[in-house]
């Protein structure tokens, strides 16, 4: 019963993080078009836009922040390989538990601080320092969402690692792939 609940939580987390990562990846061509248009307008038409720079900056922030949880899901973040790859799978899981807990602590602070910044941005109508003067409140909403997704992914990883350390078996089939990588030394 508990195992099936944990599996459902992990599947739900995996799906939500994957959707956010794919949404962030869809923003990349939009960013490319915005930057290309700004370059064209500035250098060919000699008529730069007032919105291009701010839009590109916001899109880049969205892509980077929303892609963080997806990168964690795909194990694309940096590890200290000189140590990490030389230890057993269970020791790696302990390392992951420690770093995941620290990451969750930090990201909860990011959510809390982003909420405060969002509140200020709405209350004082904060805007960019450009001619367009775009509002910035949406950026802080995105930061709260991105950090929350990252917390969800790290929590999912903690659950899977704890389950494996306690039972000696992977919780999910995707976690089983990681075990094969551990045995192959990858």
For the segment 26-62, what is each residue's pLDDT rounded down to a tens digit? 999 999 999 999 999 999 999 999 999 999 999 999 9
In terms of phi and psi (left: phi > 0; alpha: psi -120 to 50; beta: otherwise), the region of 75 is left
pLDDT tens readout for residues 58-95: 999 999 999 999 999 998 877 777 888 888 989 999 99
Nearest in space to 149 (alpha carbons), one of 72, 86, 81: 72
- pTM of this prediction? 0.87
| Of 103, 110, 118, 102, nearest in space to 147 by CA | 110
Helix (H, G, I), strand (E, B) or coil at 75: coil
Q: How far is Cα 41 from Cα 26, in angstroms, rounded to an integer?
A: 23
């Amino acid at each position: 019963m508990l195992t099936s609940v944990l599996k459902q939580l992990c599947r739900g987390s995996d799906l939500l993080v994957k959707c956010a990562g794919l949404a962030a990846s869809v923003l990349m061509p939009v960013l490319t078009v915005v930057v290309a248009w700004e370059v064209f307008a500035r250098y060919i038409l000699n008529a730069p836009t007032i919105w291009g720079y701010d839009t590109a900056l916001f899109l880049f922030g969205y892509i980077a922040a929303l892609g963080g949880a997806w990168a964690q899901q795909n194990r694309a973040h940096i590890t200290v390989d000189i140590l990490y790859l030389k230890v057993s799978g269970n020791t790696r899981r302990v390392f992951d538990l420690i770093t995941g807990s620290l990451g969750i602590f930090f990201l909860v602070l990011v959510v809390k601080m982003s909420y405060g910044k969002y509140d200020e941005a709405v209350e004082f109508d904060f805007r960019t320092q450009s001619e367009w003067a775009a509002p910035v409140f949406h950026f802080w909403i995105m930061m709260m969402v991105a950090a929350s997704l990252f917390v969800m992914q790290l929590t999912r990883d903690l659950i899977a690692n704890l389950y494996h350390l306690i039972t000696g078996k992977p919780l999910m089939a995707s976690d089983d792939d990681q075990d094969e990588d551990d045995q192959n030394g990858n």
